[in-house]
Amino acid sequence: MVWGMFPCHTLGPLIPVEQRLNAIPCRFYAPKNSGCSEGKGVPDPVRTNAKMSVELDVFVGNTTIMDEEVYQFWLDGYTVNDAVKVRMEGGVLEECEASAEVLRSDTMDQYRTFQMCERLLHSPAKLANQLLFQIPPHRQAMLIERYYTFDGLFVREVLGKKLSKGTKKDLDDVSAKTGVTLKSCRRQFDNFKRVFKVVEELKGPLVENIRQHFLLSDKLARDYAAIVFFANNRFETGKKKLHYLTFQDFAFCAGQLISNWTVGALDNMVEDMDVDLEKEFLQDLKELKILITDKDLLDQHKSLVCTALRGKTKAFNEMEANFKNLSRGLVNIAAKLTNTKDVRDFFIDLVEKFIEPCRSDKWTAGDMRLYLTHYTNSAHILDTFKHQVVWDRYMGVIKSCILKMYHD
Amino acid sequence: MPGKLKAKIVAGRHLPVMDRASDLTDAFVEVKFGNTTFKTDVFPKSLNPQWNSEWFKFEVDDEDLQDEPLQITVLDHDTYSANDAIGKVYIDIDPLLSCEAATVISGWFPIYDTIHGIRGEINVLVKVDLFNDLNRFRQSSCGVKFFCTTSIPRCYRVALVHGFVEELVVNEDPEYQWIDRIRTPRASNEARQRLISLMSGELQRKIGLKVLEMGGNAVVGYLQCFDLEGESGLVVRAIGTACTLDKLTSLHTIPTLTDGCVCSPGRPVFSEDPPHPLSGPPTPLRTLPSSSPPPFSPSKPCSRQSSSSDTDLSLTPRIGKTSPPSSPSPPLSAPFLIPSQKLTEFPIFTLTCFPPGFLVHVGGVVSTRSVKLLDRIHNPDEPETRDAWWEEIRQEIKSHAKALGCHAVVGYSESTSICEEVCILSASGTAAMLNPRFMREGCLDTGGSDHRFEDASPPSCGFVHIPYDEFNMPFPAQLTYCYHCRRQKVPDVLFTTIDLPAEAEVTGKGCLIQARLCRTKKKAQGEVNATSISNLLPFMEYELHTQLMNKLKLRSMNALFGLRIQISVGENMLLGLASATGVYLSALPAPGGIQIAGKTPSDLSYDQHISTMQKRIDDTIAKNKELYNIHPPECIEEVVGSPIPDRQRSSRLFRSTSESSDELSELDLSHGKKDAFVLEIDDTDAVEDIQSLLTDAPIPAGFYSCNTEVMPGIYNWTSGLQMFTSVRVYRLSNANLTNQGLNKIFTDLCENLLKSLYFKLRSMIPCCLCHLNFTVAVPEEELIQVRGHTYLSTPLQSWSGENEEQLQFSMELCGESTISNNQPTAKPSVSSSERCSPLPEGRSRSLRSTRSLPCGAPVTVVKMTPLSFLPGTRIVKYLGIINMFFIRETTSLREEGGVSGFLHSFIAEVFAMVRAHVAALGGNALVSYSMKECVFMENPNKNQAQCLINVSGDAVIFIRESDQEAIPPLLSSRQTSSTGADGTT
């Protein structure tokens, strides 16, 4: 017997006990045979073996602990069980001799943390000065960036659609089509909607507003600007002919449109921000019609372009033959943009009126660049054509959009 | 009117929407202290109101200042109906009452509601103008510093240790009052929170008074506990160690500070000119203003003392009862003969970590348990029943210590476990001999009279030498000569509740050792129940002890530190959990292996079975030796059988004290005869033992764990990363389990929790889980709650972890701190941490004002750790104690994510509130953090749950060691100035 560890223990003077009425506060008095927790929202207790079950299991750190891998599972809308399964296959268990049970408990903990953080992620600025979770800044940035990251496939489906309840209801179809889980679809959709709502009421440059308000990286902020811009102008992107275009193609075009054709493009701090195309500019575009209505001008333009192109490309003959058609196509698109309906069809028109004919003539990307450059520049030499500024503003965007969109 | 409290409400943010129509809130604030209430204007239609109120001034007694919290309530103004409460903030203003702690409380506090949790934040400024009252009969004790830390706080030096202080306050629990039937849960929770806040304030004040009376100025190792005795009432009790602390200020060194204090021998760090341990001049004591002799007479009639240690052990008599000292400590003719008697008045210390030289010898663990039946507290002003219970326990502890030949108990702690009306009171500590020079003025005339310590042993092994008389050993043990000095006797195994002393020499690394035990018990009521529990207890302790012993041997270690034995009582079972950190002390003999012996002879297969088992055990031992790097130098065993005549002077000296200890024979030592190292396999218990021995999962590579503050054997830790709390509740679905079945389950639970920790922290390896402590409870029939918290450190070599950002003002701070370089011999880390100038007030104030800008500056990072220090940093200032109690309740359990979701968010909220309070005091860390209480109740059928949490710790300002080196120019300029200052002194 070592070190006096076992003392005598005393049974103190026993005191008679009064009749007691409620030993447990009545609010918490659970009848003995009421059966144990059957809460529906409560995650199923983990059966560890036949004789015991985990009723409650939490793990909290002073600095909030997060596993990036699990965060991704959560964002992707995996259930706890699915996430556990995937993690198990990923071989975490062998690394550290843990059991499935340990893995499950860890996954649940993380999921709970993310759920609690989600409220804060809805207004990321709060994340920095809230007191509930102590998260190092670089982690905060990671959380936000990943939360607002979206699937290219998913966004392609809703791009240009109205961010309304109706669209949200159709998300299960989108989910089925894209293979992105419904939960993840909803999160992404809600993100779009939230960003849309916030910037709608703000003045100043769109991208900058998004970046400041949601603390996103420049790239992601630009993508969101594109989404907002498309949703606001309701550009048609879902037609079959447009299917070959990726979100990044559209995002690029949106960037071009935002920085050149909107009100904000000229003056940063105007009342209306860069979500809408500038009305006056659209009105001015009508003047360009002269390029196709005036026969002399059209011929003159054609000869100038052909002179410049001759011998420089294999597709010269097709270019010469199609010149009038193509030019009519582009100028007509410009002239019609005052019409909201035609604005929506902007991309469809570009593809139908210009890209498809060229593609059937087997133009290369180089041909396209050459053609558009000369097409734009030649107009300057036309002495009777007075709308040089509008022309440049129009063709600058059209050129870069077409170049971006001209692929298979 | 000795105090003026001033509060200013600046702004709010992130408030909840209270008006559904406008999605906004019309918020205003009520500020209440005592019975006085002020209101701000309504700030209409905003979720981020800017009140910018005037200063609300409360003129109050300092007694109230200590007891009452400042209560801030945020409400939503409603023209037609009653105003809706958004939530509350309670601010304890105690830290402002001590001139050395914080001067202002300023910052964002989470607005807390017991039903909804945190709802927004509020920015508040609080100041106190204190007119010091020197009235002798005052009831307040402003200025006494409190520390949860169980070692001497890092920027203080101990001048004198006065001893044990305790106090206990009782009240009726509002939750059980009749009014609770008609009021809302919110009102009831708030009443409870407020009451406990008041009670702990009162308790602290009363303890402070006792300290002042003893002549001290601080309480170290302050441990406050709540006993929720249900309808019997509510008990708040606290223990601590009264000390006189001197702040270390290298710039303003006053001669008396360095020369006039009682300086410990091996502690040159503290003073430029350390007095020699033995030949130092008699030093006049410089303590608090109270220069009158301490009210407790150190010299009781010797005859009485020696004859009956348990009749006259009145611990710190209550105020008013104190009689003036009979004689102001007459110089004793031979002080070295009876040092223990001089100390019997206050022989209990809550400290676990001591200045070098403080511990002379360590005897072993002493513990006591007592089973009581609770009844209603009839008169809250007379908490005598509870007082008497604890007094009884402490007396018993002392008598045990005496039986071990020791005059003091260190590393002392108390706890309770309550189930319905049965209550187990437990106390444990480590019997020890202390160096009396820390205790008493009278002992300081060292002039060669201190024979006992003259031959005493090199510091690295002295504390393991036996304090008891080997002719009259309290229990059978094998003694050998110390492997270090070869002069004195040491036991073969040593169990203690204290931390590993810094000077101890350790071979290899340490590790966490746990013994777990579960025993069924028949359901019963009243006395029958108490008796059956009481009958079970000794067997449980015995078995825990055996388990610990075996596991220790299996790891081939020979000492346990930080031993914590916890016994929890439930309706139909008792749980026992003992955790400790095992080490191999170089001074103790190497442990023998474990042998398995079968009782039934000569059955071949049976023999085989035994030999395979033996092999497994031997293999494990060999593996563990490798793992923990234990390769002691080979020594010739020289076992000294107990009663061998010996000429050691010390032993003879001890006899004089132990002759009187006739309690020895009273100790039931019969079960001690069993040899712990031979396991007889026939016996089912032994099979169980072997099972549990071998089923302990090995700790994964790269992890180290211990339950003490520092990991024995590894010393270069960097600043810690993380503090974690984990709570688990398991439901046993089959009530008819055998003891063995239960044991297995319980062991699995603990192992699982450990495995979970390892898994979660796998990316941090190599790392150490320090201060890994488990708390078990049986909240309901068939439920087991296990709560663990730990602190993670990574070793220096492979510092890979998180890039935590620097504190916004850390650089400025170190610009002001001074490190003088002229200390003699000391580890650099220690020396620099002890010597620093306090944070200049002007600086800190300006920093705070920037922080209090609404919504502006980022949130201050606040670290929390259960350790008393942060590795790789040094603490420059203690800002005061944090002691908070929260209740959270929900009536929408499912919606909040079930029990786990509810508790998870509650714990996160508690952390957030603690951090906010630390930050508001100007601190950036909470050390000695502990979650003392976490009571969880649920009623899934009603979709309800309630949880109570009590947390405490010390708010501090720390700076990183590396920061100091980063500013050489400033440092050098300071050095010149500091040497100049030294020159003038």
A359 shares a domain with A296 = yes
Q: Do B666 and A8 touch (CB under 8 A)?
A: yes
A296 shares a domain with A271 = no
List chain B residues with CB under 8 Å of A42.
Answer: 893-894, 897-900, 940
Give the domain extent around A378: 281-405
Asked whether residue A224 is assigned to any structural domain, the reply reads yes
Q: Rounded to an integer, what distance in angstroms lies between the CA atom of residue B248 and that of residue B823?
A: 13
Contact B154, B831 (CB under 8 A): no
**Could you say which of A4, A49, A65 has the minimum Cβ distance to residue B474?**
A4
A268 shares a domain with A309 = no
* Third-level CATH fold of B859-962: Translation Initiation Factor IF3 (3.30.110)
Asked whether residue A37 is assigned to any structural domain, the reply reads no
Q: Rounded to an integer, what distance in angstroms lies between the CA atom of residue B2 and that of residue B901?
A: 47
- pLDDT for A28 beyond 90: no
**Which one-letter DSSP state was computed for residue B837?**
P
List chain A residues with CB under 8 Å of B913.
Answer: 131
The per-residue pLDDT for B599 is 60
Q: Rounded to an integer, what distance in angstroms lies between the CA atom of residue B881 and that of residue B928?
A: 10
A230 shares a domain with A165 = yes
Chosen for mutation from A28, A52, A97 (greatest number of chain B CBs closer than 10 Å) is A52
Residue B898 to chain A, least CA–CA distance (Å)? 4
Task: Give the up-direction half-sphere exposure of residue B720: CA atoms within 13 A in the CB hemisphere.
Answer: 33
* pTM of full prediction above 0.95: no
Q: Rounded to an integer, what distance in angstroms lies between the CA atom of residue B314 and that of residue B297?
A: 12
More confident residue, B90 or A29: B90
ipTM, two decimals, is 0.80
| pLDDT band with cut points at 50, 70 and 90 for residue A23 | very low
Contact B83, B75 (CB under 8 A): yes
List chain B residues with CB under 8 Å of A90.
Answer: none
3-state class of B346 per DSSP?
Answer: coil
A308 shares a domain with A269 = no
Q: B79-101: per-residue pLDDT in tens? A: 777 788 899 999 988 888 876 66
- pLDDT for B350 beyond 60: yes
SS3 assignment for B250-298 = CCCCCHHHHHCCCCCCCCHHHCCCCCCCCCCCCCCCCCCCCCCCCCCCC
Asked whether residue A211 is assigned to any structural domain, the reply reads yes
Strands B678-680 vs B595-597: parallel, antiparallel or unpaired? parallel
SS3 assignment for chain A = CCCCCCCCCEECCCCCCCCCCCCCCHHHCCCCCCCCCCCCCCCCCCEEECCEEEEEEEEEECECCCCHHHHHHHHCCCCHHHHHHHHHHHCHHHHHCCCHHHHHHHHHHHHHHHHHHHHHHCCHHHHHHCCCCECCHHHHHHHHHHHHCCCHHHHHHHCCCCCCHHHHHCHHHHHHHHCCCHHHHHHHHHHHHHHHHHHHCCCCCHHHHHHHHHCCCHHHHHHHHHHHHHHHHCCCCCCHHHCCCCHHHHHHHHHHHHHHHEHHHCCCCCCCCCCCECHHHHHHHHHHHHHHHCHHHHHHHHHHHHHHHCCCCCCHHHHHHHHHHHHHHHHHHHHHCCCHHHHHCHHHHHHHHHHHHHHHCCCCHHHHHHHHHHHHHHHHHCCCCCCHHHHHHHHHHHHHHHHHHCCC
Residue A113 to chain B, least CA–CA distance (Å)? 8
**Which one-letter DSSP state was computed for residue B59?**
E
User: What are the angstrom distances between the C-alpha of A73 and each of A102, A114, A143, A180, A184?
Assistant: 17, 11, 13, 12, 10
A102 shares a domain with A78 = yes
- Token pair for B603: 């059955």
The per-residue pLDDT for B735 is 58
Q: B834-847: per-residue pLDDT in tens? A: 333 333 333 333 33
Q: Rounded to an integer, what distance in angstroms lies between the CA atom of residue B551 and that of residue B690?
A: 10
- Token pair for B837: 């100038």
**Which one-letter DSSP state was computed for residue B437?**
G
List chain A residues with CB under 8 Å of B676.
Answer: 2
Provide the 10 A C-beta neighbour count for residue A169.
9
Contact B417, B227 (CB under 8 A): no
A202 shares a domain with A235 = yes
B108 - beta bridge partners? B123
Asked whether residue A110 is assigned to any structural domain, the reply reads yes
* Third-level CATH fold of B1-136: Immunoglobulin-like (2.60.40)
A271 shares a domain with A296 = no
A258 shares a domain with A205 = yes
Chosen for mutation from B904, B930, B936 (greatest number of chain A CBs closer than 10 Å) is B904
A393 shares a domain with A350 = yes
Mean pLDDT of chain B: 70
User: What backbone torsions phi and psi does residue B603 show, to the nearest 5 degrees?
Assistant: -105, 130
A-B contacts (CB, under 8 Å): 326
Lowest mean pLDDT among A324-338, B240-254, B568-582: B240-254
- How many domains does chain A divide into? 3
Q: A333-384: per-residue pLDDT in tens? A: 888 888 888 888 888 888 888 888 888 888 888 888 888 888 888 888 877 7
Percent pLDDT > 90 in chain B is 8
Q: Rounded to an integer, what distance in angstroms lies between the CA atom of residue B750 and that of residue B566?
A: 14
The per-residue pLDDT for B72 is 93
Chosen for mutation from A60, A104, A113 (greatest number of chain B CBs closer than 10 Å) is A60
In B14-138, beta strands by DSSP E: 27-33, 36-39, 56-60, 70-76, 84-91, 104-113, 117-130
The per-residue pLDDT for B692 is 61
Nearest alpha carbon to residue A148 among A78, A216, A207: A216
Asked whether residue A130 is assigned to any structural domain, the reply reads no
The per-residue pLDDT for B474 is 63
Q: Where in chain B is the domain with CATH 2.60.40.150?
A: 1-136
* Smallest CA–CA distance from B805 into chain A, residue: A136
Nearest alpha carbon to residue B513 among B428, B594, B588, B578: B578
DSSP of B878-906: EEEEEEEEEEEEES-TTTTTHHHHHHHHH
A105 shares a domain with A15 = yes
Domain's final residue, options A239, A256, A276: A276
A185 shares a domain with A109 = no
Q: Do A39 and B940 touch (CB under 8 A)?
A: yes
List chain B residues with CB under 8 Å of A65.
Answer: 722, 724, 760
Q: Where in chain B is the domain with CATH 3.30.110.70?
A: 859-962
The per-residue pLDDT for B543 is 85
List chain A residues with CB under 8 Å of B542.
Answer: 6
Q: B462-518: per-residue pLDDT in tens? A: 777 777 766 666 666 677 777 777 777 788 888 888 888 877 778 888 888 888 888
Lowest mean pLDDT among A160-169, B591-600, B969-978: B969-978
Render the burial of B506-541: b for 16+ CB within 10 Å, e for the rest.
Answer: bbbbbbbbbbbbbbbbeeeeebebbebbbebbbebb
Q: B281-312: per-residue pLDDT in tens? A: 333 333 223 333 333 333 333 333 323 333 33
Q: Do A52 and B745 touch (CB under 8 A)?
A: yes
Q: Rounded to an integer, what distance in angstroms lies between the CA atom of residue A191 and that of residue A150?
A: 9
